[in-house]
A and B are shown apart, each in its own frame.
Chain A
Amino acid sequence: MAKSDAIVGWKTITFGCHVLEPGNTASFRTGDWRSQRPVLDKEKCIKCGMCYIFCPDMAYDQTEEGYYECNLFYCKGCGICAHECPKNAITMVPEEG
């Protein structure tokens, strides 16, 4: 869900503004205003998981190989992971367009 999906009228807004579907923040696309994205250099990565811990949007998941991969549906491009990575394995690159 992007913010634009949340656009409802006063007649259709939920009763009391309640969120009736549990855990629906998982479908909220926090990545729609990203201006740069993290790119991982697997050569440098030691799989310590610092990026996973520090990401404020919990965008990282561990792959089967043990690397951490960010989900661009959630990544807002803040660069915290790149800043925290002890091996400088993450580079922030500008989004095209």
Chain B
Amino acid sequence: MAKRVGIEVSIAIAEAVKLADADVIPAYPITPQTHIVEHLSELVANGELDAEFIPVESEHAAMSACCGASAAGARTFTSSSSQGLSLMSEILYIPSTMRLPIVMVVANRALSAPISIWNDHQDIMVQRDIGWIQTFAENGQEAVDLTLHAFRVAEDRKVSLPMIVNIDGFTLSHVIEPIEIPDQEEVDKFLPPFKPRYKLDPRKPISMGPVGVPEVYTEAKVALDNALKASKRVVLKAWDEFAEIFGRKYNPVETYRTEDAEVLLVTMGSISETAMTAVDAMRDSGQKVGLVRIRLWRPFPSVEFRKAAGKAKVLAVIDRCLPPGAVCGPVGEELRSLFYKVPGAPKIFSFVAGLGGRDVTVERFEEIVDKAKAYAKRRPKELYEVIGVREK
């Protein structure tokens, strides 16, 4: 039987990677991800996990080593955050088109300057278009479950794409939660051994990563786009299988009290739990408010999102990322495109909140809902609004 224990989420993620029996872990420490790879290095050092732990000299090297290891047919894991993820950037675009199923947990953190080690989603939004499958966890249990799910999906022969599990830095990574750590037997049932379609093998030589002349580059990128979109089926199937084995069911988009709701908050990650508390409070005071949470960010679950939120009158979308000079935050943009010219589509208002570790409280969610309601009657001057920002 699986054990329910009080455990730091980072340590629990490392335990999940151990249960997945990763073969190669090239990693570089960076706050707030460090505890994940630190614990993995201990597991390897004391012989609990039979894997190659490569203490690389930078994140750029970490992702490069991941590509090599995965190409050689090894189950490969790494973890990063913020500036480290940015340093990986050059390499991040490579394993997706090359179909290398690396799994990475990103403990989301703000980007400098000013220097901030605290949580928001700017680091991953910079990497939105790297062609990886991406999910966002809400709590510690989900972080563990999505990590196991990521190996299952990424390595599926129909998918063979790298995958990121986003967890909020500190809010999740450093919190001790009651988490059910799955049994090895159950994990083995859920996650078959990694059998890549192609690997680097001197007995059967192939070349990976050749030049793409203008005659083939477009086709290579379209092939990736299609593979990423097609991966959704396996993402869903793996969640079904996960539910059968572990009893916890996940969906690409989750709803909370959305029935008859006029205003829906839209969130990603751990602020969704506070948002649920806020929804309860607003429902208690008679307001028709609900919550839609995006768990699968790439490939974007368009059909599921339309189904979950299409009937509401107003969407209040919260981005934990401020893209300077843009029309609005990335999630806001995504949803405006999704509902563009759809008859009867909800009015979408974009908010930016929770940057660099600032808490998004129940009161902030109430403020956002109030504003969205007012804007639905009278168009706002700006295309998005930063919540809780001081002027003086």
A26 CB–B CB distance under 8 Å: no
A4 to B99, CA, bound (A): 25
Of B80-88, B211-219, B277-285, B293-301, the one with at least 4 CB within 8 A of chain A: B211-219
0/1 string, A47-59, CB within 8 A of B gives 1:
0000000000000
Tally chain B residues at the interface, Cβ within 8 Å. Answer: 23
B210 and A19 form a contact (CB under 8 A)? yes
B99 to A, closest residue via Cβ = A16
A15-B222 contact given A6-B213, A6-B216, A8-B216, CB 8 Å threshold: no
B45 CB–A CB distance under 8 Å: no
B219 and A8 form a contact (CB under 8 A)? yes
| Chain B residues positioned under 8 Å from A33 (CB to CB) | none
Min C-beta distance of B52 to chain A, whole Å: 23
A5 to B, closest residue via Cβ = B215
Contact residues, A1-39 vs B (CB, 8 A): 3-4, 6-11, 13, 15-20, 22
A6 to B198, CA, bound (A): 21
A22-B206 contact given A10-B222, A16-B97, CB 8 Å threshold: yes
B207 and A3 form a contact (CB under 8 A)? no
A7 to B218, CA, bound (A): 11
A10 and B219 form a contact (CB under 8 A)? yes
| Chain A residues positioned under 8 Å from B219 (CB to CB) | 8-10, 13
Choose among B208, B213, B218 the residue that contacts A16 (Cβ–Cβ < 8 A): B208
A17 and B210 form a contact (CB under 8 A)? yes
A15-B210 contact given A8-B216, A9-B219, A10-B223, CB 8 Å threshold: no
B216 and A16 form a contact (CB under 8 A)? no
| Chain A residues positioned under 8 Å from B226 (CB to CB) | 10
Beyond A4-B215, A8-B219, A17-B97, list 13 extra A-B contacts (CB 8 Å). Answer: A13-B219, A13-B220, A13-B223, A15-B197, A15-B198, A16-B99, A16-B100, A16-B160, A17-B209, A18-B198, A18-B210, A19-B207, A22-B206
Q: B interface vs A, CB < 8 Å?
A: 97-100, 160, 197-198, 205-210, 212-213, 215-216, 218-220, 222-223, 226
